[in-house]
Structure formats: C-alpha cells, structure tokens
Structure 1
Amino acid sequence: MTRTVLPEIIVRPAPGNPRRAIVQAGDLTFPAALGRGGRTSRKREGDGATPIADMRLLYGFFRKDQVKVPLGTTLPMTPIDKTMLWCDAPQDASYNRPARAPFKPSHEKMMRGDHLYDICLVMDWNMSSRSRNRGSAIFFHLAKPGYLPTEGCVAIKRRDMLRLLPLVGPETVVRVL
C-alpha cells in the first residue's frame, strides 16, 4: 500500500503572539512555539528567531528510550545517544552539522534532560548551502509546556508530532510564513 506524504506543512503566525504559530499539515492543525525572537527573513546566529523560509525535512533523530519505534515516517531517523551533539560555532568547519563528544567548539547536546529532542526533525535551514552566522540547529521538535519560545525552531506537542510523523517524508517542505 502506498502512503501519501504531505508535500508541505504551513506554519502561520498565531494572532497576538509573535512567538506562537499555527501548524497546518493537510487536514490537521496544531498550535506551535516559535523562536523567542519571533520570525525573521534575516536569520542570524543567536538571534532566537525562526526563519521565514521554505525548508525541506532532511532527516530526524529520536530517543529510543523515550519513544516507541517504528515511528511510521519515511524520513531517515537516527537514534540519539549521549555522544551526539550539534555544532553551533560559526567559525568551526562542523558549523550547523552533527558532531560527536568529545567536541570543544560550541554545541548543543542532542540527548536533553528536558526531552525537547526526543523527536527532532532537521529542516534544511543553512544546511545544503551553509553560510557562517546564518543560524544553526533549526529543528522541528517537541514543545516545552505552555509552548514557551524556542531558540529559533518550530515546536509542537509530543502527541501532535506522533500524529504528524506518518504524514511526512524527505519530500515534505515546512513553509514558515
């Protein structure tokens, strides 16, 4: 049986709050958190803003100690372990790329105590064609309680992510308006 994969996910700003959004995925609609800096068309490293852009979903990560597998998506998904990091140091050759501990340049841990990356999808922001200081680690991940702002990502509740995963694949584009 062939499964239909959504060609796009639309992320619209929520009325009255620049750090919140409405995610439209086919017939599904979810509330979401955006960056603490709202949205921007001029994304810079550390600005806390979510880029206004069309970003293809590339692949994802998940914590197999926190999430049942299979996840039902055609996206390539890699289990997270304690050595997995993401480089956010603009001057390093690994900028905006996965890295492994031990790693001295600035980075994020992928295995987080707050569980935001228990399911984490990598969007093609500054990945295919990297530029220093244009922003790193722009993910589609799990939201904090109360949809508190992210550092520039799009975040939804776990239950919504589990409903969304079977509908997305490498051809899906996330359009932040």
Structure 2
Amino acid sequence: MTDWTVSASGQFDFNGQVLRAALGKAGVRPEADKCEGDKATPLGRWPVRRVLYRADRGAAPETALPVRAIRDDDGWCDAPEDPAYNRPVRLPYPASAEALIREDGLYDVIVILGHNDDPPHPGAGSAIFLHCARPDYGPTLGCVALAKPDLLTLLKAMKPGDTLGVVDG
C-alpha cells in the first residue's frame, strides 16, 4: 500500500520526484469544512477506488486498479438531496449531475477517490477526482489534477489499497 501525497501548494510527491498539481479554485480546506460547490479541495486522505478513461482518446491506462471506459451517458450526481448523491449515474438524470464526457480533455482519465463515499453525507462534497490538468494548470473545482502524462505514469505505480492525501504544506 502506498500513500501518495500532494501538498496544499500543489506539489505531488511521486517516489521522490516532485510533480506539479492543480487544486481547487478556492484553495484547500479541512475535510470537515468541505461543502458542495465551494470550489475547494478538501484536506485529507482517501482510498483510490478505480479509473475511468475516454476510449476514444487513448488506450486503457496501465494500472493494477479497476479500469472502465467512460460511456456517453455516464454522469456523477452532485445534488445533495438526491439518493444518488456522490455516486455515478446515467444521463439524463432527473437531479443535478455532471457529465463525465468532456470536450476539454480534463476527464480523459479520471481516478475516483473515496472522498465522502462511505456513505455519502449530503452537501459534504461530491466528485472529488484525480484527473488531467489544464495545460496552464488552471485551478479545478475541488479536484486534484496532474498533467496527463504524469497521471498515466502514476497510474502504472498505483494499486488497490493505495491512498491519495492532500496535506497542508
């Protein structure tokens, strides 16, 4: 089991090499203070669950984690009042849900993190993923993002039981 760590300043420690990471537009905040839509990356440590990827934009990532191609109708519920909150859903969905097919490439590869998922607490934040960064490392809406080549390299080293932590510093 490996505990992967990214600092609140956006430094990702990859086996002694420092990679640049993008974090939330509103910075970071303690996990207990995380709220839906606050654009902050929660501080904490979460299990790495599985990987989703765009098959039309590349082959399945090499990893020991469970991997599945994103379907055209894949979404993620971000409606705190809905029973499927912070869970995958099929689109169209009757409550608010984010589409996982994006044209900007940010979700070409998504690592699902175990933030607020066991069980989800309404309003405590949803869809906190590790995904591809913008070319300029612009901020996320609360996720952690790495350059796609760095993310693909990291996935080769990730395995079930690993965690990802966002820490002060």
TM-score (normalizing by structure 2): 0.94
- Structure 1 residue 172: Cα displacement: 1.0
Cα distance in structure 2, aligned partners of 1:123 and 1:40 = 17
Amino acid at match of 1:53: G
- Match of 2:5? 10
Runs of 4+ in 1 over 4 A off after TM superposition: none
1:33 aligns with 2:27: no
1:172 aligns with 2:162: yes
Q: Please list, as runs of the form range in 1=range in 2, the aligned pairs for 1:85-164 lying within 5 A after superposition.
A: 85-164=75-154
- Structure 1 residue 165: Cα displacement: 0.7
1:50 aligns with 2:45: no
- Structure 1 residue 28: Cα displacement: 3.1
Amino acid at match of 2:19: F
Cα distance in structure 2, aligned partners of 1:25 and 1:129 = 30
Q: Please list, as runs of the form range in 1=range in 2, the aligned pairs for 1:46-85 lying within 5 A after superposition.
A: 46-69=37-60, 71-85=61-75
- Structure 1 residue 27: Cα displacement: 2.9
- Structure 1 residue 78: Cα displacement: 1.0
Q: Any conservation in 1 of the 2:2–2:161 contact (CA below 8 Å)?
A: yes
Amino acid at match of 2:148: R
Q: Size of the alignment, in residue pairs? A: 165
Cα distance in structure 2, aligned partners of 1:54 and 1:162 = 21
Cα distance in structure 1, aligned partners of 2:26 and 2:109 = 23
Cα distance in structure 2, aligned partners of 1:26 and 1:8 = 11
- Structure 1 residue 33: Cα displacement: 0.3
- Structure 1 residue 23: Cα displacement: 0.5
TM-score (normalizing by structure 1): 0.90
Identity of aligned residues (%): 36
Q: Any conservation in 1 of the 2:91–2:99 contact (CA below 8 Å)?
A: no
Cα distance in structure 1, aligned partners of 2:97 and 2:17 = 34
| SS, match of residue 165 in structure 1 | helix
Cα distance in structure 2, aligned partners of 1:93 and 1:80 = 22
Structure 1 unpaired stretches of 5+: 1-5, 15-20
Structure 2 unpaired stretches of 5+: none
Superposition RMSD on alpha carbons, in Å? 1.0
